[in-house]
Chain A
Amino acid sequence: MQNNQLQHFFSKMRYLNIVSVSVFILFSANAASAQRISDTIRIKTIEIFADKIVKEEAGKTTTKIDSISMIKALTSNLSELVAQNTPIFIKEYGRGAMATASFRGTAPSHTQVSWNGISLNSPMLGMVDFSTIPVYFTDNVSLLHGSGSLSEKSGALGGVVKLANTTDWQNKFSGRLLTGVGSYGTRDEFFQINGGNNKMQSQTRAFYNYSDNDYQFVNKFIADIDPKTGKYLYPTQRNENSQYENYGFLQEFYLHPTEKSIFILRYWYQHNDRSLPRLLSNETDNNANINRQSENAHRPVAEWKYYGKKGTLSLSSGANIQLLNYQLKTKVSGAADQLVINSDSRSASYLFKASYNYQFSDNLSIITGANTEINSVLSKNSPLNGEPQGYDRQRSDHSVYIQFSKSFNDKLSANLLAREDFIGGKSTPFIPSAGIEYHPFRDKGYFLKGNLARNYHQPTLNDLYYIPGGNPQLKPEEGIMADLGSGYAGPVGNTVTFHVSLNGYYSRINNWIIWLPTPQGYWEPYNMKRVNASGFELNTGISGKLYAVDYHLNGNYAFTRSINRDDPRNWADESIGKQLPYIPRHSANFLFNLSRSGYHFTWLWTYYSERFTTTSNDKTSKLDVLYPYFMNNLHLGKEIKLNRQKLDIELKILNLFNEDYRTVLQHPMPRRNYSLLIRYDF
């Protein structure tokens, strides 16, 4: 019984999952049996619901990606996981190619991705390429929407995608092996080995992922003219020069030296190597304009937590070091190979964090902390025929914050947060945030919540110093953000759990930074006067059991208005009052999973409405708009249990209806394709 309650509690914490670590520790320090942090990998599906407001979380909109979605996306990268399970819009440039996120209608740099407390956003570009983050290497993924992200960090005008790893203190020896083969010469290999006792745990993971990625398509963007009939002959082509190879290694040590402290060490190394295929309209020489991007990332993190009777102290330090090389090569008949662009960059963020959480009582707490982030970028571009150019800059960003959280009774909780940032030695305006949450009925499943905040996003080092174009005079982006949400989460009868939530938001973002071309041929960043991003997110899910069939459904719909409120450049400017390019007004997805006696069936559906490619939202030519996107993927599998071991064989059918489509203007996407995975858990 005791165990069940704890299980329930921890799962609830994962469901809520914001400052949960500190809160959870308070409890675990009191209960010896609480050392069992649940093993998320093994848990099939648990939908647990809050019956008491976590006051530190009051008013914040959060989403936790459930364990079924996580396991279905195990061999995917974060871009697929997020696109298929959350309201975030992912703009992908092709299979295996760069993928950027738009959270609540904002720019890619407005979505912060944190991995066990360190920021994965490059200080050079500000954004994260979601296609480079393997789902293998994370155990929990949750979203902090909009202003709900301020308890984590400032600058996430869209929100935070939070990746966390956990361990199972009860584990002695366990692991997982996974191997997969797929269409277009795709291979996926993964292993994980966990070992230890209740004082120490080690987790080792590694993956390898390769694809020729040479899918075939009929190119209707170019044509030869048949000399006899005058008819067009469309060439059948392969998606050439787009193979990718990624591999990585993650080692974690969890130490529990005393009852009251935990020490964690992590190191993540990853290598990504790939190229972006040429556009459909390309008719250069076969060896011309071949690009290659290769990246090495090192991410060490150390974390120490001490749980006192009422206070929890947490210290952590880590780094995100990314080494990037981009080359554009061209081979010309009669001339030597030309290295047209050779660009090297090293971006590094070193992070130091301290936070202290003190519970005066069950009803009042204070969280305070300080962060320091030292960002440095060395960027060197060696153009053909020109002298190398680039920049070498450092910036230290400091942040201090304090949050008061209070429960007035078991129906009403509120919190207040104040943050002050010091960017490159200058203090930014004060950042406040206030949240309130109310559960009006006896059934605590119903909730109403709201949050109001100010937020600042600093220009990236490329924005300021890139050559050519960087503008040191850029102002930070300032957001005023309001959130309002309502919904229900709880059981319906004995076998069904159900949740639904509707969250509306409104953000005014002043000085929005955008890079635009100049008459000189290069691009320059500039502060737009304002962008208004508003909309709502609807999330619903149901799971239960019917005629011995376990079913699970989760769906999202987002309505997004991201409107240009800049000053018009002149009378002819038609961009004002229009939706920003490439942000769909409507987006939706759902996951539908059925399982019985080890057989399982999953259907994933994703939809985006049309996306404009112009700021004027022109629809005169079909080249101005990308048609709505509908994607269906199907997974079929069988799991065999052998004592503690499990063998799972799964067939994935991607692009079920064999759509011939593009997600950006001139990169084709693959037709129906398959992947077969064998997973062995021990």
Chain B
Amino acid sequence: MASGPSRTAAEEYRPNRYVSLPAELDPATYDTPLEKRRAEAERLAIRARLKRQYLLQLNTPKPPRVIEDPALLRWDYARTHNVYPTFRPTPKTSFLGAVFAIGPILFWIAAFKTERVSSAGGVEHQGAPGCKT
């Protein structure tokens, strides 16, 4: 029973819990899809632009007192302002949002109500609010 050509040691190698797979041995390193490469190039271009913007401010003959780091501003904008336009409502996110927005409030309402009713002896006290006896 002739099996196929035996696998090389590099192919046999599997990452274990002590050693991760080096990038050179990962086939995905060499045949990246075109979209991924394009995305990487785009990201590189953005980074280069940001760095250039920063260095232009830094290397002027009279640098400003405070040099703004455009990359940080961009990061902050992405974190604070750009969240909502890029949010995509799916059934899962909508459901989870509803659960986590309304769920705890209903839970605590129920908790307070049961506690107050049980401590007042089964009847909810209707007199002056705040006092239980």
Q: A and B from one assembly?
A: no
